[in-house]
A = this chain, B = another copy of it.
Amino acid sequence: MSNIPEHMLNNDAFSQWLGIEIIDQGLGFSVLTMTVREEMTNGFKIAHGGISYSLADSALAFASNSYGVQAVSIETSISHTKAIKVGDQLLAKAKEESKTRKIGIYSIRIENQDKEIVALFKGTVYFTPKEWEI
């Protein structure tokens, strides 16, 4: 199995700040986890929308780069469906919905520790001609 996601995470300072860990990964998918800290909250005392976006965006990057070809994000969207609180343990699952030679579409669902969906993310990537060399 590809070790590109692990290589990416080891070099990804912000994902490390978030405390992201890789639970599972493979061709076209990834499963990540992280726990929400006080410094990640906004003025409503819940996780800033950027926190769940960042987790999903990392899941997108790890899933879409898994084939050994560098993928860059073109367009992403997220709906925050439930408030995320300090201490919540998030689980993000990235799934490939469609893949052509040039374009990939991935959906990422984020759940909390009670298996409630807290965010739904969709990401579209462009597969560049560059291969990963690690």
The residue from B14, B80, B120 contacting A39, defined by CB atoms under 8 A apart: B14
Name, among A14, A107, A122, the residue most crowded by chain B CB atoms within 10 Å (CB to CB): A14
Interface size on A, residues (CB 8 A): 49
Verify B105–A120 contact, CB threshold 8 A. Answer: yes
Mask of A41-54 contacts with B, CB within 8 angstroms, 1/0: 11101011111011
DSSP majority for the A interface? mixed
Which residues in chain A, 28-60, are within 8 Å of chain B measured between CB atoms?
Answer: 38-43, 45, 47-51, 53-55, 57-58
* CB < 8 Å neighbour of A77 from B7, B45, B77, B117: B77
- In the complex, 30 of the A-B residue pairs with CB atoms within 8 angstroms, ordered by the A residue number, are A9-B43, A12-B42, A13-B41, A14-B40, A14-B50, A15-B42, A15-B43, A17-B39, A42-B61, A43-B61, A48-B58, A49-B76, A50-B50, A50-B53, A50-B54, A50-B55, A53-B76, A54-B54, A74-B79, A74-B103, A75-B78, A75-B79, A77-B122, A97-B120, A103-B126, A105-B120, A107-B107, A120-B122, A122-B122, A124-B124
